[in-house]
Structure 1
Amino acid sequence: MSVGVLLVTHNRLGEELLRTARTILGGHPLATGTLGVPQDSDPSAALQRGLTLLGQLDDGDGALILTDAFGSTPSNVAVRLGQQAGAPVISGVNLPMLLRVLNYPQLPLEELRAKALSGGRDGILLVEPSPLLRQDHGG
Structure 2
Amino acid sequence: METNMSNVLVMTHGEFAAGIKKSAEMIIGEQDNFETLVFTPEMSLDALVIALKEKLHRFDNDHPTLVLVDLFGGSPSNAVALLLAEGFDIQAISGVNLPLLLEVLSGRTLFPLDNLVSQGITAANEGVINIVKKFTEEP
Q: Provide the TM-score with structure 1 as the length reference.
A: 0.84
Q: Indicate the residue corresponding to 1:5 in structure 2.
A: 8
Partners in 2 of 1:12 and 1:34 — Cα distance? Answer: 10
Gap runs ≥5 in structure 1: 133-139
RMSD: 1.8
Identity across the alignment (%): 27
Pair 1:117-2:121 in alignment: yes
- 8 Å CA contact 1:67–1:74 kept in 2: the answer is yes
Partners in 2 of 1:82 and 1:12 — Cα distance? Answer: 24
Task: Say which is worse superposed, 35-44 or 15-24, in terms of deviation.
Answer: 35-44
Off by >4 Å, runs of 4+ in structure 1: none
Q: Indicate the residue corresponding to 1:105 in structure 2.
A: 108
C-alpha offsets along residues 54-107 of structure 1, whole Å, 9 cap, x if unaligned? 122262121001000111122212322344322111000001100111111212
Pair 1:23-2:26 in alignment: yes
Q: Provide the TM-score with structure 2 as the length reference.
A: 0.84
Partners in 2 of 1:58 and 1:110 — Cα distance? Answer: 21
SS of corresponding position for 2:90: coil
- 8 Å CA contact 1:3–1:58 kept in 2: the answer is no
Q: Indicate the residue corresponding to 2:99 in structure 1.
A: 96
Count of residue correspondences: 131
Partners in 2 of 1:22 and 1:6 — Cα distance? Answer: 14
